[in-house]
Amino acid sequence: MKIFIDTAPFIYLIEKHPKYSAPLKKYFTELYVDGYEIIRCKPGR
């Protein structure tokens, strides 16, 4: 199985994009606080 991960949101955060960085930071912070996992890998892979 192939999985595509769009890296644009991470680039926007790193480069502090004037339009997208603040909403993305809020979104990822909410995910973290709520205990969500963005990527889960099975042990041994």
Residues 6+ apart with CB under 8 A from 5: 39
pLDDT of residue 37: 78
Number of domains comprising the chain: 1
What pTM was computed for the model? 0.67
Q: Is 8 helix (H, G, I), strand (E, B) or coil?
A: helix
Segments forming the whole domain that contains residue 15: 1-45
Closest CA to 24 of 39, 38, 10: 10
Q: One digit per residue, pLDDT tens: the chain, 45 residues? A: 677 788 999 999 999 999 999 999 999 899 889 998 767 667 665
SS (H, E, C) 10-41: HHHHHCCCCCCHHHHHHHHHHHHHCCCCCCCC
